[in-house]
Amino acid sequence: MASRGAIQSILTEPDSTVALAPAVPALLPVARPSLPRFEALAPYLRRIDEGRWYSNFGPLLNAFEARLADRFGHGAQVVTVVNATQALTLTLLALDLPRGALCMVPSYTFVATAHAVVAAGLTPWFVDVDPADWMLSPGAARDLLAAAPGEVRAVVPVAAFGAAPDIAGWKALREETGIEVVIDAAAAFDTACDCALPTIVSLHATKALGVGEGGFLATNDVGLAERVRRLTTFGFHGERLALVPATNAKLSEYAAAVGLAALDDWPTTRLRYLRASQFMRMALSQTKIGFQPGWGADWITSVCVVRLPAGARAAEVEARLEADSVQTRRWWGEGCHANPAFRSHPHADLTATEALAASVLGLPFAVDLDAHEASRIALALERALDAGRG
């Protein structure tokens, strides 16, 4: 039998007239974002044309914020921001903590969490997560306080890949200790529905509800919402007077148009994600792959991140899948603490983080992933795992 390389060279030969099935199937990308299409945007874009109001809290942005706030129930305030990283940074700044104060963060998160903490003038203290749900728990945070390398003034729990953190537990910890808690729910548009604690959600194109670039703070703290709003708009509050050092982090009417159209589609989008998740769950049911608790059943998200069976190394499986044209991503790499930008910051024991980093892999996933693609992923994964054992 011809080797894969030989077949490929035949296929790529310029004057080859032999029609062969492609030896290497088309690449299955790890993500295939899908934002509202032209037809869905048109009515909103027309409103922008007619109103000639393009930014600075126009009618579309106000409507978008009101509809987002509705998701969080009575009394919720929503402040849109250019992206979730800035929303996190500005929310932490608005808490007015002493410069350099310690902020506890799970190392197992996207680097944006740590960047935001540093940009807000705080010192990240990287701590471990629970191996069962990949998140920092309020109980673990409480236990860790005694070992902190200084006084902890804030904590940023992360909704891992869209999972719901224990909000009641975090609220109790804040009440008990006075430590500020800001939830990084960047990937958790679906599960974020309680804003008893300041909660940040991303509207990036790769997240479940995307506008391209964008994010928001949801909170029932009116004062905090006002302070964050001021920070997004030159320190202005009502009049054109800079009351505090600030920046410009507003979202335009165009982004709000995409957001409104995305919200119109959301009930359908959510069902389509559920369907795609079920395809993955069924296709992978014969493997020893571990999903996040409730993934694709109790809650949906835009990524399929799985834990490989004991003994399998994510880096090796990734390389074998790549050879099979199945793209994967180790979304959170080795954890924040391993990035050059954050190596000088303190960290606690990170046993679970290191184990997750070595065994967690993001598989191809999309709102329109079909059963055929799911089985192709499952087959490639089974082959990759078998090769690892052999």
Ligand X SMILES: *Cc1c(COP(=O)(O)O)cnc(C)c1O
Interface residues with ligand X (CB under 6 A)?
A: 83-85, 109-110, 112-113, 158, 184, 186-187, 202, 204, 215
Task: List Cα–Cα distances, 47 to 10, 59, 77, 203, in angstroms.
Answer: 55, 9, 25, 22
**Beta strand pairing status for 199-202 and 183-184?**
parallel
E strand or H helix at 110, and its extent? none
Would you say 158 or 192 has its CB closer to ligand X? 158
Would you say 97 or 111 has its CB closer to ligand X? 111
Would you say 307 or 320 has its CB closer to ligand X? 307
**At its nearest, how many Å lie between ligand X and the CB of residue 243?**
26
d(CA 180, CA 117): 13
**At its nearest, how many Å lie between ligand X and the CB of residue 213?**
7
Secondary structure letter of residue 184 according to DSSP: E
Paired with 79 in beta bridges are 217
**At its nearest, how many Å lie between ligand X and the CB of residue 43?**
26
**At its nearest, how many Å lie between ligand X and the CB of residue 159?**
7
Would you say 182 or 312 has its CB closer to ligand X? 182
In degrees, to the nearest 5, what angle opens at C-alpha 141 toward C-alphas 137 and 146? Answer: 160
d(CA 212, CA 259): 9
Would you say 89 or 269 has its CB closer to ligand X? 89
The tokens describing 74, both together, are: 């009575």
**At its nearest, how many Å lie between ligand X and the CB of residue 115?**
9
- 348 in Cβ contact with 99 (< 8 Å): no
Would you say 113 or 269 has its CB closer to ligand X? 113
**Beta strand pairing status for 77-81 and 180-181?**
unpaired
Would you say 107 or 202 has its CB closer to ligand X? 202
- 345 in Cβ contact with 124 (< 8 Å): yes
The tokens describing 305, both together, are: 């991140």
The tokens describing 369, both together, are: 């992933």
Would you say 85 or 328 has its CB closer to ligand X? 85
**At its nearest, how many Å lie between ligand X and the CB of residue 123?**
18
Give the rounded distance of the alpha carbon of 41 from its chain centre.
Answer: 24
**At its nearest, how many Å lie between ligand X and the CB of residue 156?**
9
The tokens describing 71, both together, are: 């998701």
Would you say 191 or 384 has its CB closer to ligand X? 191
**At its nearest, how many Å lie between ligand X and the CB of residue 388?**
28
Other beta carbons within 10 angstroms of residue 118's beta carbon come to: 16
**At its nearest, how many Å lie between ligand X and the CB of residue 11?**
38
226 Rama sector, left if φ>0, alpha if ψ -120 to 50, beta otherwise: alpha
The tokens describing 336, both together, are: 């924040």
d(CA 122, CA 209): 29
**At its nearest, how many Å lie between ligand X and the CB of residue 165?**
11
d(CA 202, CA 208): 9
Would you say 106 or 364 has its CB closer to ligand X? 106
- 58 in Cβ contact with 282 (< 8 Å): no
Give φ, ψ of 91 to 5 degrees.
-65, -45
